[in-house]
């Protein structure tokens, strides 16, 4: 799919808070994707960034991020734009945005330079200096759009899902960083009968460790997307009577996602789906980051 003349995206960042928030969002995606590409989806009201493996998903409302925004989608019936880009290239090119000056203005525009679709970033300073960076992008064909929707997962019953809110992830990150040097997997287990307690158990041949986070806020109406009532295992009858929800995940991946956070979240939610997936949702006043870590069965 080529960049059509009808497609348009222009936006402006005019204060240090939103400039830094935009850069931190890109930096989080870069820490997850590394040298790999990601997908940028723009609609009339929101911007999404997602990793190609669909394990990382970012969402931001345009009016909260940009002081001015003009958008025209592919067609009136499909008012969206999908672009493939490399977060590493954007983050390294726009490193100045990590600590922007008070006089800096950033303009973002979808352009075509020498036949190549680009996201063009124009940086203007109070001294009237202007720096322009053209970041190559690849528009996605409409037939591929469905491959980049928000991740979903199944559950068998309400007893197979457990969500708690963390006031601060620093302690959890501290524990996970030390666990990952001692073993490959950790079992996270939510205890519904224990007033929002979350237990971590390290699986290792060398040592046995466990950590409990007590009296966390239990979230009844979590943000997770539940698509159907398909059972997750043949032990469903046993699960119906169990009040613990375990998920076994790779420590390396959990440490990666916790370490990738650059958005300074005001709220963090962990959703455990029994033996299926660990879902992290981090949000602040501007954006939301979601991470999906598949469970590893014994």
Output the DSSP codes for 231-282: -SSTTHHHHHT--EEEEEEEHHHHHHHHHH--S--SEEEEEEETTTEEEEEE
The 10 Å Cβ neighbour count of residue 246 is 18
Mean pLDDT, the chain, whole residue set = 87
> So what's the pLDDT on residue 194?
67
121, pLDDT greater than 50: yes
Mean pLDDT value across residues 43-54 = 94
My answer on whether 164 and 216 are in the same domain is yes
Mean pLDDT value across residues 31-47 = 96
Whether 1 is covered by a domain: the verdict is no
My answer on whether 21 and 141 are in the same domain is yes
My answer on whether 36 and 83 are in the same domain is yes
Whether 153 is covered by a domain: the verdict is no
193, pLDDT greater than 80: no
Q: Indicate the pLDDT class of residue 155, thresholds 50, 70 and 90.
A: low
| pLDDT tens digits for range 124-147 | 987 778 999 999 999 999 999 998
Whether 82 is covered by a domain: the verdict is yes
For residue 40, the domain's CATH number is: 3.70.10.10
Task: Determine the structural domain holding residue 92 and report its residue range.
Answer: 8-148
The more confident residue out of 4 and 188 is 188
**Helix axis angle, 251-260 to 170-179, nearest 10°:** 140
Mean pLDDT value across residues 204-208 = 85
Exposed, middle or buried, 5 (CB in 10 Å: 0-12/13-18/19+)?
A: exposed
Whether 29 is covered by a domain: the verdict is yes
DSSP state of 226: B
Determine if residue 210 is left, alpha or beta; phi over 0 gives left, psi from -120 to 50 gives alpha, anything else beta.
beta
Whether the pTM exceeds 0.75: the reply is yes
Boundary of a domain, candidates 122, 148, 174: 148
> So what's the pLDDT on residue 238?
52
Give the percent of the chain with pLDDT over 90.
64
Of the listed ranges 69-78, 111-120, 232-241, the one predicted with least confidence: 232-241
CA 224: distance to chain centroid? 13
My answer on whether 144 and 162 are in the same domain is no
38, pLDDT greater than 60: yes
Mean pLDDT value across residues 61-90 = 95
Residues 6+ apart with CB under 8 A from 113: 120, 134
Q: Indicate the pLDDT class of residue 222, thresholds 50, 70 and 90.
A: very low
> So what's the pLDDT on residue 100?
86
What are the strands, taking DSSP E only, across the chain?
A: 8-13, 38-42, 46-51, 56-61, 68-72, 81-85, 105-113, 116-124, 130-136, 138-139, 161-166, 185-191, 197-203, 209-213, 217-218, 244-250, 267-273, 277-283, 287-294
């Amino acid at each position: 799919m080529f960049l059509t003349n009808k497609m348009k995206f222009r936006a402006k960042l005019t204060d240090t808070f939103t400039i830094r928030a935009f850069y931190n969002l890109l930096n989080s995606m870069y820490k997850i994707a590394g040298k790999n590409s990601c997908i940028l989806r723009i609609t009339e009201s929101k911007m999404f960034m997602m990793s190609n493996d669909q394990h990382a998903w970012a969402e931001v409302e345009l009016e909260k991020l940009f002081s001015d925004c003009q958008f025209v989608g592919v067609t009136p019936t499909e008012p969206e734009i999908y672009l493939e880009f490399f977060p590493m290239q954007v983050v390294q090119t726009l490193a100045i945005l990590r600590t922007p000056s008070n006089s800096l203005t950033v303009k973002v525009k979808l352009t075509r330079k020498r036949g190549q679709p680009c996201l063009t970033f124009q940086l203007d300073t109070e001294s009237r200096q202007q720096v322009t960076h053209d970041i190559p992008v690849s528009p996605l064909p409409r037939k591929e759009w469905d491959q980049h929707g928000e991740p979903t997962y199944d559950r068998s019953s309400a007893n197979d899902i457990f969500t708690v809110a963390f006031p601060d992830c620093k302690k959890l990150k501290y524990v996970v960083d030390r666990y990952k040097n001692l073993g490959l997997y950790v079992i996270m287990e939510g205890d519904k009968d224990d007033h929002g307690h979350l237990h971590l158990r390290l699986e290792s041949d060398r040592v046995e460790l466990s950590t409990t986070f007590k009296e966390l806020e239990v979230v009844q109406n979590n943000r997770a997307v539940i698509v159907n009532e398909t059972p997750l295992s043949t032990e469903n009858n046993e699960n119906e009577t169990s009040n613990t929800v375990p998920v076994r995940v790779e420590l390396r991946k959990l440490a990666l996602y916790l370490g990738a956070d650059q958005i300074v979240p005001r709220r963090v939610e962990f959703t455990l789906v029994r033996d299926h997936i660990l879902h992290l949702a981090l949000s602040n006043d501007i954006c939301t980051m979601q991470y999906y870590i598949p469970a590893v069965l014994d």
